[in-house]
Structure 1
């Protein structure tokens, strides 16, 4: 008879009370007036700070000015949809990023504020 011990790590469980839709519409920029004004007066600074808050490189949005379709805005929007479980498609992301770039960045910023997930470790010991 052999003695063996089985150890299993607890698995993370994330429960979200948010829906599978964007929290605000694309044209609801005035819902957060300070962010709307910041995006209007200094769009480059606003996009860079928003990208940093999302966890991306600070200067990444500056690459958007290389073509007619903004690849960074489009990919950030797609990434955010995937991270938060928001329904949509790349065609819509491409259209929105191309023709409503400032509104897209404001919407993504509002979504990050709304879905700000605070991670709490339960039962963790401090050393």
Structure 2
């Protein structure tokens, strides 16, 4: 009879110290002026690129039509859920309806701010 030894390597642990608030306000365009200019001058392209970076379909924002843009609102709610940001559906609805480019800029800044790279200590390159 043969014995089988199972060894488990320690897994990296990521300590999340982000707050429960948005990293920037809805009108904090000065934090990334080139990005906000891009959103202002070519909003459909900017929204599609941001959607793709978030892991959604590239053309998803092109479906935003109507009084309350459903895609912008659902992306904002999804981002709040993913990052643990406390806010209200009512505010998401207002921002999606009346400040769409600013909303997409805020979501893009949040993705950049929360993009945590996992670094393994004592890892060897082979």
> Is the TM value for this pair above 0.5?
yes
Trace 1:78-89 onto structure 2 (pairs within 5 A). Answer: 78-89=77-88
Task: Give the deviation of 1:18 after TM superposition.
Answer: 1.3
Instruction: List per-residue Cα deviations over 1:31-82 (Å, max 9, x = no partner).
Output: 1001011001100000000000011000000001x21110010000001001
Pair 9,69 (structure 1): closer, same or farther in 2 beyond 3 Å = farther
Matches within 5 A, 1:47-126: 47-64=47-64, 66-120=65-119
Q: TM-score, normalised by structure 2?
A: 0.84
Task: Measure the CA separation in 1 of the matches of 2:107 and 2:89.
Answer: 15
Give TM-score, length-normalised by structure 1: 0.84
Tell me what 2:27 maps to: 27
Task: Report the equivalent of 1:40.
Answer: 40
Structural RMSD (CA): 2.2
Report how many aligned residue pairs link the two structures: 124
Unaligned runs of 5+ residues in structure 2 are none
Whole-angstrom CA distance in 2 between matches of 1:13 and 1:80: 22
1: CA distance, partners of 2:9 / 2:67: 48
Q: Which runs of 5+ in 1 are unaligned?
A: none
Distance in 2 (CA, whole Å) between partners of 1:126 and 1:54 is: 29
The whole-number CA distance in structure 2 between the counterparts of 1:39 and 1:126 is 40
Q: Quote the Cα distance in structure 1 between the aligned partners of 2:82 and 2:9.
A: 24
